[in-house]
Amino acid sequence: MSDAETFRKETHEWLDANCPPSMRWSEGEAANPTLGGDVLTWGGRKETFPNPETKQWLDLMAEKGWTAPTWPEECGGGGLSKADAKILAQEMRRLRVKPPLVGFGLTMIGPLILEHGTEEQKLRFLPEICRGEIRWCQGYSEPGAGSDLANVQTKAVVDGDEYVLNGQKVWTSYADASDCMFFIARTDTEASKHAGISFLLVDMDQPGVTVQPIKLISGYSPFCETFLEDVRTSRDHVIGGEGNGWAMAKALLGHERSMISEAFNEGENRNQLVDLAREYLGCDEGGRVGDAVIRDQIAQLTMNKACLDLTLARTKEGMKLGHQPGAESSIFKYYATELNKDRSALSVGILGPQGCGWEGDGFTDEEAELTRTWLRARGNSIEGGTSEIQLNIIAKRVLGLPD
């Protein structure tokens, strides 16, 4: 038996023996996993773990380093090769095992610290992320600095060994549930707007940090406004060096947009759309969805999703050779945004008049949820970088078109 076969066998056996029953996807959940609500664990100091098996599973996987399987062992990871990590992911899917931990620590700030942090920063922050002891949010956008991110006005002024922070961030996802924030602030008001920015880490559990949730039309929102008034953080908590925040911000955006594209790409699969269409539109004599136009739309959406899946898979293979996500991540973010909007619009279109439900009699909970999901999807073209900005990046940095 080869080393890979041995690892696969041992991994399968360990997962099957140790994963608690409630930490396995049901049929419905596995077909449509979500990164919100009560389904998955984000960890952090505010996590309550209503289900004890959730914490048990997190601790077991963290002990093996499998919350971040490819990270170095000294940083809390599993030290696995890319090949072994792929086997682990395959066996988790095979056994319908839920991930023990999700969040921006694993997908965004953790990879950035691994690439650009000092050894002290790696040992300080990464083990906490792997153990699910700290939850992170992102402080980029401001009321006057959204698409023009380099226009940030939040200031970080040196005071001895610390920075004193003052300013406002907006659209800070899950800030009300987070322990720490990674963000960009202006540390040099005399330099050009790109050169005067630094990338900092700050603990949110201190005086001067105020978080206010932002409501959305869908009825659910992870977004918040975050106000910083004389908030302090150590000068040791700068990633990439003072004045190098713009480069760090762009590097992290590559990870973020790749993560967003994968998250948007999850959702109703072809079979779910077909089942929905059969329920509301009926079938023809051959058992196909009765409406030919809807059949065509489902087929087109299925092909588009397959194209994105294959392109993402090809990019992941490139990352194994050392290629880091760059401007091409804007392609994934834009395309996945449009795909998710099309998918939610098609679902509501299949419902017909029942797709107008919000609450009250006459609509099932499932119908109302599809309507809310459709409304929420409208925001995909704004969050994580607007679609217009993504198209500009693709035109200039991917296709090399002139200004």
How many Å apart are CA 398 and CA 307, to the nearest integer?
18
Q: State residue 32's pLDDT score.
A: 45
Which amino acid does the sequence have at 264?
F
Q: What is the CA radius of gyration of the chain?
A: 22
- For residue 84, tell me if it sits in a domain: yes
Mean pLDDT calculated for residue range 331-358: 88
How many Å apart are CA 323 and CA 161, to the nearest integer?
36
**Residue 239 sits in the same domain as residue 140:** yes
Is the pLDDT assigned to residue 118 strictly greater than 70? yes
Domain CATH for 64: 1.10.540
Q: State residue 367's pLDDT score.
A: 87
**Closest listed residue to residue 383, CA positions, set 253, 269, 266, 268:** 253
Is the pLDDT assigned to residue 33 strictly greater than 50? no
Judge whether 265 and 309 are in contact, CB under 8 Å: yes
Domain CATH for 193: 2.40.110.10
SS3 342: helix
Q: For the segment 231-259, what is each residue's pLDDT rounded down to a tens digit?
A: 999 999 999 999 999 999 888 876 665 55
Tokens matching residue 213: 């949730």
Is the pLDDT assigned to residue 326 strictly greater than 70? no
Q: State residue 187's pLDDT score.
A: 95
**Residue 77 sits in the same domain as residue 193:** no
Containing structural domain, residue 44? 3-102
- For residue 249, tell me if it sits in a domain: no
Mean pLDDT calculated for residue range 329-353: 88
**Closest listed residue to residue 112, CA positions, set 88, 86, 81, 138:** 138
**Residue 393 sits in the same domain as residue 270:** yes
Q: State residue 208's pLDDT score.
A: 97
How many Å apart are CA 196 and CA 355, to the nearest integer?
49
Which amino acid does the sequence have at 204?
M
Is the pLDDT assigned to residue 395 strictly greater than 80? yes
How many Å apart are CA 62 and CA 129, to the nearest integer?
10
Which amino acid does the sequence have at 292?
A
**Residue 304 sits in the same domain as residue 337:** yes
**Closest listed residue to residue 332, CA positions, set 308, 314, 307:** 308
Mean pLDDT calculated for residue range 106-117: 94
Q: State residue 380's pLDDT score.
A: 81
DSSP letter assigned to residue 300: H
**Closest listed residue to residue 227, CA positions, set 208, 214, 199:** 208
- For residue 117, tell me if it sits in a domain: no
Owner of token pair 């959204």: 146
**pLDDT classification of 379: cutoffs 50, 70, 90:** confident
Give the count of domains, the chain.
3
The residue among 31 and 277 whose pLDDT is bigger is 277
Asked which of 14-23, 61-70, 134-143, 359-368 is least confident by mean pLDDT, the reply is: 359-368
SS3 46: coil
Q: State residue 282's pLDDT score.
A: 84
Q: State residue 279's pLDDT score.
A: 87
Q: For the segment 219-237, what is each residue's pLDDT rounded down to a tens digit?
A: 778 889 999 999 999 999 9
Q: State residue 258's pLDDT score.
A: 57
Q: State residue 31's pLDDT score.
A: 43
**Residue 21 sits in the same domain as residue 51:** yes
Q: For the segment 269-286, what is each residue's pLDDT rounded down to a tens digit?
A: 567 888 888 888 888 877
**Residue 160 sits in the same domain as residue 239:** yes
How many Å apart are CA 238 and CA 225, to the nearest integer?
23
Cα separation values, 297 from 311, 343, 347, 349, 372, Å: 21, 9, 11, 11, 21
- For residue 194, tell me if it sits in a domain: yes
SS3 98: coil
Asked which of 59-63, 72-76, 197-201, 331-335 is least confident by mean pLDDT, the reply is: 331-335
**Residue 183 sits in the same domain as residue 278:** no
How many Å apart are CA 166 and CA 229, to the nearest integer?
5
Is the pLDDT assigned to residue 28 strictly greater than 70? no
**pLDDT classification of 320: cutoffs 50, 70, 90:** low
Average pLDDT, the chain: 87
Q: State residue 40's pLDDT score.
A: 82
- For residue 259, tell me if it sits in a domain: no
Where does residue 400 rank: exposed (0-12), middle (13-18), buried (19+ CB within 10 A)?
Answer: exposed
Q: State residue 35's pLDDT score.
A: 42
The residue among 315 and 270 whose pLDDT is bigger is 315
The residue among 368 and 315 whose pLDDT is bigger is 368
**pLDDT classification of 16: cutoffs 50, 70, 90:** very high
How many Å apart are CA 160 and CA 281, to the nearest integer?
69
Percent of the chain with pLDDT over 70: 89
**Residue 144 sits in the same domain as residue 214:** yes
DSSP letter assigned to residue 57: H
Owner of token pair 């004045």: 243
Q: Which residues are catalytic?
A: 256
pTM (2 d.p.): 0.78
Q: State residue 269's pLDDT score.
A: 57
Residues 6+ apart with CB under 8 A from 379: 216
- For residue 8, tell me if it sits in a domain: yes
Residues 6+ apart with CB under 8 A from 262: 312, 332, 336
Q: For the segment 142-191, what is each residue's pLDDT rounded down to a tens digit?
A: 998 777 778 899 999 999 999 999 999 998 999 999 999 999 999 998 89
Q: For the segment 56-107, what is each residue's pLDDT rounded down to a tens digit?
A: 999 999 999 999 999 999 999 999 998 999 899 999 999 999 999 999 999 8
Percent of the chain with pLDDT over 90: 51
- For residue 338, tell me if it sits in a domain: yes
Judge whether 90 and 11 are in contact, CB under 8 Å: no
Is the pLDDT assigned to residue 265 strictly greater than 80? no
The residue among 322 and 143 whose pLDDT is bigger is 143
**Closest listed residue to residue 233, CA positions, set 153, 164, 159:** 164
- For residue 40, tell me if it sits in a domain: yes
Cα separation values, 284 from 6, 236, 280, 291, Å: 50, 67, 13, 8
DSSP H or E run through 55: helix 52-64
Tokens matching residue 208: 């001067």
How many Å apart are CA 98 and CA 33, to the nearest integer?
9
**Closest listed residue to residue 102, CA positions, set 219, 263, 226:** 263
